Structure 1
């Protein structure tokens, strides 16, 4: 008998450290990936926000430059119309001058009047030429200003296109980072589930090989008949034996779990939907389920398990795992569930 117990202990002594190391590594990796993702999101959002402000300023400048260009074009058109009128007047003056010169050549008698007329026309022609030169200078200046405005608009449009392209690249980087992070997290979760499944199978071997102790999801389930008498909340002899094994396993695990992992063992009491008799100790199934969970917790504390690592809860008949009112379903619903989790 002693040899069998020693062999069982030898079979189970090295399982938990590997699980704890793997779990710690996975949690640190997940936290690191989440931190990188959040930091990348924050930096990229700040960069995108700054780009949006630059785009708004550039759009405002484009609008102002467009309005200014429209005004300059309008002024340029007016000057061109004025120049055309001046050139038309100059052509008319030149025609009059030629005609007067011809009259001078034809009639010497009217030379004094003709000379006066020629002088007047010459003075007017000089004035028109000066006005035409000033108009041409203004047109040249306006053309230079229009060229400068067009260059500024082209530069602004180029900067806008570059900013939009960079923004699209940033969005693509964010999408790719999120996709890779999701893939990494999914792989880590799958690996964590595999380690947890292995751990539950091995811990079940430590506790008992009986059919009425099983694993449901991430919980160990004890049928109430294994631990308590019918309608009672005090552990019987068989329940003491099972809880002794659980306490021993918890004490060994508590020595190996790193201090930074704030773990607890949650003990949940459940009953079937059969009402309790009024003459009993408990008024309803709520009180019975809570008392049974508390009884398990107190017994584990008496065996040395730290009280701050234990939680008791009662659920009555309101969390069944087997539907129906058959004896088999009610037997499955009368249970104590144990879940090792991080607080």
Structure 2
């Protein structure tokens, strides 16, 4: 099967100005400027097959947005091979943009002062979608995203959640085989997030739409993606199944205790000093979390803690994907 995205040794470098210190340095900068080359994307390679839903993740500055901009034809690569939908995105841009959908959480493709349906009609003409094709496809999209009542409203009068649902619908007017989502649920409430996730699953199932998702919300990744590509300082440090990432790095569990009285960190460490446990405070008062790699110590941990304190509530959890990824970055693990 031909990959829908194919990238080999892709690199993007930026030239940045470096100023010298002090007044003397400022005068020297007037005559000769110093520059340095920064590699935002540093020789990455991957393939994405039709119908995949892939999470593209990394910390701020890791190179995620730069990659997406190259894949969508906004930026020209410094070097490397890139093919998306069988085309070179920046060289065949006019034809290429009709084969993709893009949603940037912080940018709008809808016209601010006109009704949503007027924006849809304009985009329909831009993408040269027939009346029949539009009605057949968009009636389903509008119904599923529950935006029928919003079509007559100007975009500026929509809430953030309403606007993001309309942005998603706009990106799908031409029913593209490939959809890029860059922080599509940022700032949205839980119910809107759930609605968008269910919709994305449905279009993937119904139309085999390939989805590449960048987000800091790991619950989005867990809900939608079986595969993740993890970036750090412009390099891929992990490319594989999300479940395998959990199995490889998420040994052990965590136990949450909600105590009936105030408890300090030193006391907890003292009474469990014979156990390989790390304690950290929870988000609420009198809530503490014990993390361990060896699950066999859970029963002994509970016995020792309940012998010393009154427990109001207790919960045993698998370490979250967000915690796993944070640990990978903090420990500097480079796993390609």
Q: TM-score, normalised by structure 2?
A: 0.21
Structure with more strand by fraction? 2
Structure with more helix by fraction? 1
Q: TM-score, normalised by structure 1?
A: 0.21
Larger radius of gyration: 1
